Chain A
Amino acid sequence: MSLTLLIEQILNGLQFGVMLFLMAAGLTLIFGVMGLINLAHGSLFMVGAFACATVAAATGSFWLGLVASLAAAAAAGALVEILVIRRLYERDHLDQVLATFALILIFSEGTRWVFGSFPLYLDIPQLLSGAVHLPGGAQYPIYRLAVIGVGIAVAIGLYLLIGKTRLGMRIRAGESDREMIGALGIDIGTLYTLVFALGAALAGLAGAMVGALQSVQVGMGEPVLILAFVVIVIGGIGSIKGALVGSILVGLTETLGRFLLPHVFGLFMPNSEAATVGAALASMLIYIVMALILAFRPQGLFAANA
């Protein structure tokens, strides 16, 4: 195993983590501000991917598709918030789990109804195809570097938005004291809709960017959703910083685990068997990490309101 391969794998882990961050940031924001568990966040990811694929196919431009994905996911998010979600803020987590579970069914089957049962086509834009040479002779796809870049930009953007703007001040106020924002004369309803749409747009953006790498199909949001939950729980629910650290941690664990574990087992058992056992353990690894972290820090690494 060479050093360049290891570096490439670390980049892969980072890129996977950044993608998770886009999902987790919205999820944790929504939880932090409104106290809502949204299982349907994966559906918004799917909406973004389908919107991007449809518009890209119609216009031939990935970039227009990207814009469409943001718009469609934000619109879907706002609509869902107004019709359903806002009735759930006062309910316990149990009702929220059930209602958003129901939304998954509606979104998935509804999407299949509209778009049919076959996966859609979406490719990376011409501008970002190809690879760059890394020091040491390795190559790395430009598109994946761009994904890392977008993730960093979103992280900085969120930091500025929450730390430096009026909207951010209101969001922070909403996190710490819900009655107070009412007293400040802020329209809570609109604020919540905005935050939800923002979270949805981030999920849609992730869906569109990932859709170009993977397959755009019904149900594509569910595996990502579970991972995003793992991320925010590890990071501390409600904390954007926690979501960032958690994403990178999960991304690296997942990628390096499935790369290294078979090698480790290969040291003392036949290759074919080591591949099986290593892969089995790798698929459980992030859940093991999560259980360990929660065993020692029951509120996650960066508990927001603890």
Chain B
Amino acid sequence: MKKLLAASLLALSASVAGNAFAEPIKIGMITTLSGGGAGLGIDARDGFMLAIEQSGNKEVDVVIEDDAQKPELAVQIADKMIQSDKVDLMTGIIWSNLAMAVVPSATAQDVIYLSVNAGPSALAGAGCSPSYFNVAYQNDNFHEAMGEAANKDYKKTFIMAPNYPAGKDSLTGFKRFYKGELAGEVYTKLGQTDYAAEIAQIRASGADSVFIFLPGGMGIAFTKQYAQSGVGLPLLGPAFSFSQDVLPAIGDAALGVKNTASWAYDLDNEANKAFVEGFKEAYGRLPSVYAAQGYDTANLILSAAEKASVKDKDAFRAALKEADFDSVRGKFSFNTNNHPIQDFYVREVVKDGDTLTNKIVATAFTDHKDAYAAECKM
């Protein structure tokens, strides 16, 4: 805590502090803090709170509650935050299915929602809303980036994802940009932890590379088993399975894996340096992409608060849309559907001393937009 205080004091003296509308902002954060998926929520929360601390803005009040990764509970908490706590803004949800449960009804009640992670296609296309801002990505983006990047080196990729909407979006996203041939397309059971059968298929498929989207424990399990199997084909994937929160658990098996994201800790800009240093100092670990997205979300809110009153929803929405903040991702702006226009990078898992982490090796997309913006009418 002392460290945190010191860091925020430092940031305070450095930043041009000033809130034109020095009035309280109440933010409701619903995120996953218990159960198997808690690591992601904790990172998003810590990133978010770090930005608030660093800003030194005392007018921001964040109410944080745990959704335990259950949609019904998330809805109940959202009702409480809107009806009882009377929050101005909401944020924090990690999972698409929880976002689908909370976001449409929150925005229907004129609450502004900012996504720190989930970006289901339904909310980017026909279901978009002027009160919904996605500060992370549209779900397809990381996969699209890998599809594009794979064109350079590979001709015959084996692709695999769990059999649920995000899994299908993933493979669709990959195929949207990948021009090579598919050595196989496999859907696994959600939550599956033994991949021996799939690895045998990969070995027999004659592929020259393997693309997987297996978030959380599934990715850890697959990557370890894949390395143990000795198949040895290059492994590709979105950042979710190779992010800082899971890398220590995978261990050296992840070395050399290529993965795509909109952020990496070595991204060279001032905001990112302040973020990575501040995060390490405050929490004693390296930040993940979820922490970076949480950090950016908080800074976006703070930037809008300097321009407009949160009580004037229209003005505040307009201020958010300008995205006038220093993103840790460098360039960042909103498309017509309030989803990001940003660059996507290919990262490689490397060892930095004893710590496994990701290093940027290439740029997959510059100023990339999602595929659904045209369907959004607002």
Tell me the A residues contacting B by CB distance below 8 Å: 1-2, 4-5, 8-9, 12-13, 15-16, 19, 108-109, 112, 117-121, 123-124, 129-131, 139, 141, 143-144, 210, 212-220, 223, 255-256, 258-259, 262, 271-272, 275-276, 278-280, 282-283
Contact = CB atoms under 8 A, between A and B. Distances in A.
B197 A215 contact: no
B200 interface: yes
Given A123-B224, A123-B251, A279-B188, A217 B217 contact: yes
Contacts of A15: 196
Contacts of B225: 213-214
- B39, B168, B245 interface centre (most CB from chain A within 10 Å): B39
Given A141-B229, A276-B163, A123 B253 contact: yes
Nearest to A143: B228
B48 to A, nearest CB: 16
B36 interface: yes
B34 interface: yes
B52 to A, nearest CB: 21
Contact of B193 (A218, A220, A278): A220
What are the 5 A-B residue pairs with the smallest beta carbon separation, nearest first? A215-B220, A119-B249, A214-B221, A117-B38, A279-B187
Nearest to B40: A117
A121 B249 contact: yes
Contacts of B204: 1-2, 4-5
Contact of B36 (A123, A220, A256): A220
Contacts of B246: 118-119, 215
Interface in B168-197: 168, 171, 185-191, 193-194, 196-197
B217 A112 contact: no
B191 A276 contact: no
Interface of B: 33-36, 38-39, 42, 163, 168, 171, 185-191, 193-194, 196-197, 200-201, 203-204, 216-217, 220-221, 224-225, 228-230, 245-246, 248-251, 253
Given A119-B217, A121-B250, A258 B188 contact: yes
Nearest to B250: A121
Contact of A214 (B168, B188, B190, B217): B217
Given A8-B200, A108-B35, A215-B224, 19 more contacts: A2-B204, A5-B200, A9-B197, A16-B196, A112-B38, A118-B39, A119-B217, A119-B248, A121-B248, A123-B251, A131-B230, A141-B229, A143-B228, A215-B216, A215-B220, A216-B249, A256-B197, A259-B197, A275-B186
Contacts of A216: 249
B368 to A, nearest CB: 24
Contact of A129 (B193, B228, B251): B228
Which secondary structure dominates chain A's binding surface?
A: helix
A279 B193 CA distance: 15
Given A12-B200, A112-B38, A123-B251, A223 B230 contact: no
Nearest to A2: B204
B194 A112 contact: no
A2 B206 CA distance: 13
Contact of B245 (A118, A143, A258, A282): A118
Contacts of B36: 217-220
A275 B38 contact: no
Contacts of A212: 224
A16 B249 CA distance: 22
A4 B36 CA distance: 37
B200 A220 contact: no
Nearest to B253: A123
Contacts of A120: 249
A19 B189 CA distance: 18
21 contacts: A12-B194, A12-B196, A16-B196, A112-B38, A119-B220, A121-B248, A121-B250, A124-B228, A213-B224, A213-B225, A215-B220, A215-B246, A217-B217, A217-B249, A218-B38, A223-B193, A255-B196, A275-B185, A275-B186, A276-B187, A283-B163
Which secondary structure dominates chain B's binding surface?
A: helix
Contacts of B187: 262, 275-276, 278-279
Contacts of A220: 36, 193, 217
Contacts of B35: 108, 112, 218-219
A16 B194 contact: yes
A285 B144 CA distance: 33
B197 A258 contact: yes
A139 B246 CA distance: 28
A302 B33 CA distance: 44
Nearest to A259: B197
Nearest to B251: A121
A255 B195 CA distance: 9
- A2, A5, A108, A212 interface centre (most CB from chain B within 10 Å): A5
Nearest to A257: B197
Given A120-B249, A262-B186, A214 B220 contact: yes
Contacts of A272: 171, 185
A118 B228 contact: no
Given A119-B220, A121-B248, A141-B228, A215 B193 contact: yes
Contacts of A223: 191, 193
Contacts of A143: 228
B178 to A, nearest CB: 13
Contacts of B245: 118
Contacts of A275: 185-187
A150 B193 CA distance: 20
A210 B193 CA distance: 9
Nearest to B36: A219
A278 B189 CA distance: 11
Contact of A213 (B163, B221, B249): B221
B248 A276 contact: no
A266 B283 CA distance: 50
Nearest to B35: A219
Nearest to A220: B217
B221 A258 contact: no
